Amino acid sequence: MRMIGKAGKAAAVAAIAALALTGCGRSETSTGGGTEGASGFEQDSAIGVALPQKTSENWVLAEKLFNEGLTEAGFKPDVQFANGGVSEQQNQISAMVTKGAKVIIVGAIDGSQLGTQLKQAKDSGATIIAYDRLLLNTENVDYYVAYDNFKVGELQGQALLEGLEEKKGEGPYNVELFAGSPDDANAKVLFDGAMSVLQPKIDDGTLKVLSGQTSFEQAVTQGWKAENAQRRADTLLTGSYSSESLDGVLSPNDTLARAVLTSVKAAGKELPVVTGQDSEVESVKSIIAGEQYSTINKDTRKLVEHAITMVKDLQAGNELEINDENSYNNGVKTVPAYLLEPVIVTAANVKTAYEGDPVLEPITK
């Protein structure tokens, strides 16, 4: 895997931090970093879990795993989806506070729009854990648990380059760039990670973006919605590729990857190399079928398991395990984080990447 140097990564993280959206660094695993955990609380306490809209399979699975895991640990889970949008999530967090939740785990729709509710939660004595997406511009967040999203972007960029060489031969290659939703704190981190790998290749002419749309703002997909990605792909194909081949597409997740492939098929074009993320069932099948080139396995089971481990440690009054104390500046404070390692999956390792996964392993056999 191609990695950027320490100076380049530090510069990238600093630039993202200025926008309250940071990349990921590395430090030795340690304990502590938060303000809670010394006194503990009753084992059968209410635990709130505020999840965003059901835009991908991993969020649906997280709901199930949080309900089962927290119940098994003796807690009273209150797991809510905010399919109605930000205002619904705001109301749900307020309701969790009213119900006396000791810990509130937040997978935000928009991490910058929950300040009032998070203050209310902290004032009530609750501990706040940002789950998968950083909570922005607030001091009222104690911990962050996620996969290393800057590295996910790096892996996506590297997969695109490797796929182009493997599938298309020598360059230059025509590519287009897609990013996630601008209200998701992860979206720019992912894009910046990918561009740390791809931008040098754009600069030296190996990659050509015929649309000219190379900035995050030009590449975003509002709401992570497949229909928005497909609509943009249709426009790009009509406007820039009527007589040119589209060789590759940087897609930030599997849902958008499949939307792009649908657009390309409808246009009657040869399928490009397309990246993804989340190991969704249909995309794993697509990789096996030789259509989508890659995904990133961010095992939701491991992420939920560690979030529940954090809750258990808080309940017992133990210090929490933290392996990144420096990288996640949310615009107000640096949030202590525990980061899990993502794994890239292509046809080359798809049959071994999901060993032990009750849903995905049977698909690959």
Per-residue pLDDT tens digits for 151-202: 999 999 999 999 999 999 999 999 999 999 999 989 999 999 999 999 999 9
What total of structural domains would you count in the chain? 2
Which pLDDT belongs to residue 12? 42
* Residue 24 pLDDT greater than 80, yes or no: no
Question: Which element (helix H / strand E) includes 251?
Answer: none
Q: Which domain-ending residue is among 297, 322, 348? A: 297
8 falls within a domain: no
Clarify whether residues 63 and 129 are in a common domain.
yes
**Once rounded to an integer, what is the mean pLDDT over residues 199-214?**
98
Matching residue, tokens 């993280």: 13
- Quick check: 1 pLDDT over 60? no
How confident is the model at residue 39, as a pLDDT?
62
- For residue 103, give its domain range: 32-141+299-340
Q: pLDDT value at position 8? A: 40
| 70: confidence class by pLDDT, cuts 50, 70, 90 | very high
Residues 288, 303 within the same domain: no
pLDDT above 90 coverage of the chain, percent: 84
Last residue of a domain, one of 297, 325, 352: 297
pLDDT score of 33 more than 90: no
What's the predicted TM-score (pTM) here?
0.79
CA distance 111 to 330: 9
Q: Is the pLDDT of residue 281 over 80?
A: yes
Q: Give the integer Cα–Cα distance in Å for 139 and 119.
A: 8
Task: Kindly state whether residues 274 and 336 are assigned to the same domain.
Answer: no
Cβ contact 259:226 at 8 Å: yes
Confidence (pLDDT) at 55: 79
22: pLDDT strictly greater than 50: no
**Does residue 10 belong to any structural domain of this protein?**
no
**E strand or H helix at 69:** helix 57-72
Q: Give the pLDDT score at 35.
A: 46
21 contacts: CB under 8 Å, gap ≥ 6: 134, 136, 185, 188, 189
The whole-chain average pLDDT of the chain stands at: 90
Looking up tokens 């996506």, which residue turns up? 156
Mean pLDDT of 99-114: 96
Asked if residue 214 and residue 184 are part of one domain, the reply reads: yes
- For residue 133, give the CATH number of its domain: 3.40.50.2300
